[in-house]
Structure formats: C-alpha cells, structure tokens
C-alpha cells in the first residue's frame, strides 16, 4: 500500500493536468463534472448506471489530485 500512496503523491502534476483536461471535459456550456454534481445534488432523479460511471470517470482525476495534495501536506 505504501508504494501505491507514494505513486499517487509523486504524480501531483499528472493529476492536476488530468483534472484540468479530462476532469472538466467537455468545457462548454459547463464542465461535465459540474453538471453531474449538480444532478446528484438535485436528487439524482433519472440517473442511470452510465451516468454514475461517467461521474466516476470525470471525478477520478479530481479525487487523485486531492489525495495527492493531502499526502504532500501530511508528509511535509
């Protein structure tokens, strides 16, 4: 597990790039992940399995970036 966390911590720049590109795509009219989060906050009415999977795929870079930053702060 330690190798895994070290890998996440040492690749902060990759997670940032992935978050700004894949995590926000498509960018217009609003970032896709933002629309999904609003949908979930509104009760997720009508969300199917593909929508949950899509949320996971667009949210994963953000989760990895946040985890990487937490690990960096913790290990300072």
Q: Could you report the per-residue pLDDT of 9-66, keeping only the tens digit for each?
A: 999 999 999 999 988 888 888 888 999 999 999 998 999 999 999 999 999 999 999 9
CA–CA separation, 53 vs 47, rounded Å? 10
Q: Are 33 and 51 in contact (CB under 8 A)?
A: no
- For residue 67, give both structure tokens: 């985890």
Furthest C-alpha separation in the chain = 44
Exposure class string for 8-18: b at 16+ Cβ within 10 A, else e: bbeebeebbeb
In the chain the first and final C-alpha atoms are separated, in Å, by 19
Give yes or no for residue 1 having a pLDDT over 80.
no
* Whole-structure pTM value: 0.84
């Amino acid at each position: 597990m330690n190798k895994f966390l070290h890998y996440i911590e040492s690749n902060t720049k990759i997670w940032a790039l992935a978050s700004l590109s894949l995590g926000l795509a498509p960018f217009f009219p609003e970032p896709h992940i933002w629309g999904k989060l609003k949908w979930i906050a509104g009760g997720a009415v009508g969300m199917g399995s593909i929508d949950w999977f899509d949320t996971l795929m667009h949210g994963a870079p953000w989760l990895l970036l946040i985890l990487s930053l937490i690990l960096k702060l913790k290990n300072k």
